[in-house]
Amino acid sequence: MKILVTEKISEKGLKVLQESGAKVDIKMKPPREELLSIIAEYDAMVVRSYTKVDEELFSYAKNLKVVGRAGNGVDNIHMPSATKKGVIVVNTPDANSVSAAELTVGHMLAISRKIPQAHQAMKKHHWDNHGYIGTELYKKKLGIVGLGRIGALVATRMQAFEMEVSAYDPYIADSRFEKFGVEKKETLEELIKEVDFVTVHTPKTKETAGMIGKNELMKAKKGIKVINCARGGIINEEDLTWAIQQGIVEAAGIDVLKDEPDTTSPLFDVENVTLTPHIGAGTVEAQDKVGVGVAHEVLGALRGEMVTNAVNMPTLMRQELDQVQSSLRLGEILGKFYYQMSKEPVDRLEIIYRGETVHMETQMITLAILKGLMEPVVQEKVNYVNAKLLAKSRGIEVIESQQSEDDRYLNFIQLKIYAKDKCFTIGGTVFGKKELRIAEVNGFVFDVVPTPYMLIAKNIDQPGMIGKIGTNLGEHHINIATMQVSRNVQGEKAMMVLTIDSEPTEEDLKMIQEVPGILNVQLVRL
């Protein structure tokens, strides 16, 4: 395995990568051309916010399986391309939140007490203890845009200053506002027109880019102070410069700029703006947590484990992961049967989760089923990231339903796979923690432990069939591990499921197929 690290991560993080046995190449901020020419060699890359992991880079990255973002924001990574190519993007969303929140507090104090201006004067050996009259935070109104991880940390910290905190975040439940004792504002306008400080903590999205511009600033309370420690461009830099010059905004504290690295933004030349060069995550603690966190996520994803911070697939908490692991394996196995037993393209896949399975993260099990279903027939690599997209592109409609009880099993997953006018069904269960069983195939009931090679034979229910198959396989030196026969009506069609120790050849299968009474036989590799 080869891992490319293109930006600085902590020594502790590097050590975790290196001790894994992977070959780790460190190339700090390589020129674009060089990056494009080498990326095909790597299985994983670790970046921060500088490296543009865009559509073009993905087109060169033939072996890339994981992009690790050492940090939170993933706006430098083209997510649709990653998902299409089945590349898992992992990040460390919590690791630097406290540091980013503390820098926000720092900017608020700096601009309200004019600390940078006073400091600059002192550095010029100029003593003026009357010239830097500021304002207190006490009892002032603070408006937070985006009450996520960092927004909420800022809220609790500023409540200690006895600020009155309100927030605008249309995507979270009222209970989160209540939990943090923050007043909910329905619109950005409602927030900005009455607060003394506004601080943004949203990701940069199509919706949030430029969300605070001239229009919003014109409605703001006169003398408002503005902080952006989230992403450059959420507040329009030209419009903010204008608003400061107009006296609408009194001061601004800015950690992030639209085009980083940048030394030319108009904000550089405005008196009341305090600038830092995107250092929200720049603490020893954050860098250690980020570095070690991203290293573990990247290695876990490379090993094919379910990682907890994958950005482009549903994630599971660690305890959920243990619980759901066996059902994921079962789902993938059930999915693998169809295309090995039928060549008809699938129109619709119905997944019925029964019993205890309904309490699990079924979204993830569905991805495992789709992965299993498409792997035997799709050229691209199929994984949890692109399984849904691939199914959609193949015109497969996926329908999930849940039934809290099952007549026979504590938990049961059933697939109904529709192709033209036919319907193939298969079902399975997990006994105890990890004993998988195939429990049903096309209406025939079984209790089979799935193994790497399985033969599924349809036959006439008549005497001597088991003996004939056994003798035939024996003659071809194929050892039968287990054999089960199931029928629904005596004398009609029956089904046999055999688990065998070695892979039969085409020739072997042909011979079995020719046994009188055998209607068809199929090999399933798991």
Ligand X SMILES: NC(=O)c1ccc[n+]([C@@H]2O[C@H](COP(=O)([O-])OP(=O)(O)OC[C@H]3O[C@@H](n4cnc5c(N)ncnc54)[C@H](O)[C@@H]3O)[C@@H](O)[C@H]2O)c1
Task: Provide, rounded to whole angstroms, the least separation between the CB of residue 23 and ligand 2HG.
Answer: 24
Nearer to ligand 2HG, 160 or 284 (CB): 284
- DSSP letter (8 states) at residue 148: S
Contact pick of 3, 66, 229, 430 for ligand X (by CB under 6 A)? 229
Q: Which stretch binds ligand X (CB under 6 A): 94-102, 306-314, 374-382, 445-453?
A: 94-102
Q: For the chain, what's the residue count?
A: 526
Active site residue 359: no
Residue 73 is a binding residue for ligand X (CB under 6 A) = yes
Q: Which of 41, 190, 194, 260 is catalytic?
A: 260
Alpha helices in 282-438 (DSSP H): 284-302, 318-341, 362-374, 387-393
Burial zone of 21 (CB within 10 Å; 0-12 exposed, 13-18 middle, 19+ buried): exposed
The alpha carbon dihedral of 113, 283, 31, 301 has a sign of negative
Q: Which stretch binds ligand 2HG (CB under 6 A): 68-76, 116-124, 126-134, 233-241?
A: 68-76
Active site residue 33: no
Task: Provide, rounded to whole angstroms, the least separation between the CB of residue 206 and ligand X.
Answer: 9
Among the listed residues 66, 76, 52, the one whose alpha carbon sits nearest the alpha carbon of residue 385? 66
Q: Vertex 383, ends 380 and 388: CA angle to 5°?
A: 90
Active site residue 162: no
Residue 233 is a binding residue for ligand X (CB under 6 A) = no
Q: Vertex 266, ends 261 and 270: CA angle to 5°?
A: 120
Query: Within 409-468, which residues bind ligand X (CB under 6 A)?
Result: none
Residue 255 is a binding residue for ligand X (CB under 6 A) = yes
Residue 201 is a binding residue for ligand 2HG (CB under 6 A) = no
Q: Which stretch binds ligand X (CB under 6 A): 91-99, 239-247, 382-390, 428-436?
A: 91-99
Nearer to ligand X, 78 or 278 (CB): 278
Contact pick of 53, 89, 100, 523 for ligand X (by CB under 6 A)? 100
Nearer to ligand 2HG, 288 or 461 (CB): 288
Q: Which of 78, 107, 278, 296 is catalytic?
A: 278
Q: Using CA atoms, how far apart are residues 113 and 135, in angstroms rounded to an integer?
A: 6
Residue 372 is a binding residue for ligand 2HG (CB under 6 A) = no
Among the listed residues 235, 439, 422, 428, the one whose alpha carbon sits nearest the alpha carbon of residue 335? 428
Contact pick of 230, 391, 441, 524 for ligand X (by CB under 6 A)? 230
3-state SS, residue 24: strand
Among the listed residues 46, 52, 60, the one whose alpha carbon sits nearest the alpha carbon of residue 92? 46
**How many chain residues interact with ligand 2HG (CB under 6 A)?**
8
Task: Provide, rounded to whole angstroms, the least separation between the CB of residue 93 and ligand 2HG.
Answer: 8
Contact 374, 338 (CB under 8 A): no
Residue 201 is a binding residue for ligand X (CB under 6 A) = yes
Among the listed residues 310, 306, 372, the one whose alpha carbon sits nearest the alpha carbon of residue 335? 372
The whole-angstrom distance between residue 276's C-alpha and the CA centroid of its chain comes to 30
Contact pick of 6, 10, 51, 72 for ligand 2HG (by CB under 6 A)? 72
Burial zone of 65 (CB within 10 Å; 0-12 exposed, 13-18 middle, 19+ buried): buried
Residue 355 is a binding residue for ligand 2HG (CB under 6 A) = no
3-state SS, residue 129: coil
> What are the distances in angstroms from CA 3 to CA 70, 266, 299?
14, 39, 9
Nearer to ligand X, 280 or 300 (CB): 280
Q: Using CA atoms, how far apart are residues 2 and 4, in angstroms rounded to an integer?
A: 7
Task: Provide, rounded to whole angstroms, the least separation between the CB of residue 485 and ligand X.
Answer: 55
Q: Which stretch binds ligand 2HG (CB under 6 A): 66-74, 107-115, 354-362, 409-417?
A: 66-74
Q: Vertex 493, ends 491 and 499: CA angle to 5°?
A: 120
Residue 97 is a binding residue for ligand 2HG (CB under 6 A) = no
Contact residues for ligand X, defined by CB under 6 A: 72-73, 93, 96-97, 100, 145-151, 168-172, 201-204, 207-208, 229-231, 255-256, 278, 280-281
Active site residues: 231, 260, 278
Q: Which residues bind ligand 2HG (CB under 6 A)?
A: 48-49, 71-73, 96, 280-281
